[in-house]
């Protein structure tokens, strides 16, 4: 697989399709950054790409954590409200008619 004009053999626990997808993303990002900063050497380009991807990952992780916390809060709120439910008599449920 090529990443920024250089061939790599990727091996890992993920499928070949997943590894190819990751390599394509890194290649795309490196080319994108190189276009914006054409005089940057390859090592710095790789570091800038890694920093960009890490920043996006951390932002995504923070959003994920907020959503999980929100869901946990809603779940706990629902449990508290359910514990205070007063059982209705049969007639109030519409079954006694």
DSSP 6: E
pTM of the model: 0.72
Residue 97 confidence (pLDDT) above 50? no
How wide is the angle at C-alpha 54 spanned by C-alphas 51 and 58, nearest 5°?
Answer: 135
**45: three-class secondary structure by DSSP:** helix
Tens digit of each residue's pLDDT (9 = 90 or more) over 34-43: 999 999 999 9
Tens digit of each residue's pLDDT (9 = 90 or more) over 64-96: 999 999 999 998 888 777 766 566 676 655 554
Mean of pLDDT over the chain: 89
């Amino acid at each position: 697989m090529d990443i920024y004009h250089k061939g790599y053999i990727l091996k890992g626990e993920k499928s070949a399709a997943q590894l190819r997808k990751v390599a394509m993303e890194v290649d795309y990002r490196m080319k994108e950054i190189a276009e914006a900063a054409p005089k940057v050497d390859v090592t710095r380009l790789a570091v800038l790409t890694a920093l960009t991807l890490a920043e996006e990952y951390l932002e995504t992780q923070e959003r994920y954590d907020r959503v999980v916390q929100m869901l946990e809060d809603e779940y706990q709120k629902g449990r508290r409200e359910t514990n205070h439910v007063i059982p209705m008599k049969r007639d109030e449920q519409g079954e006694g008619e």
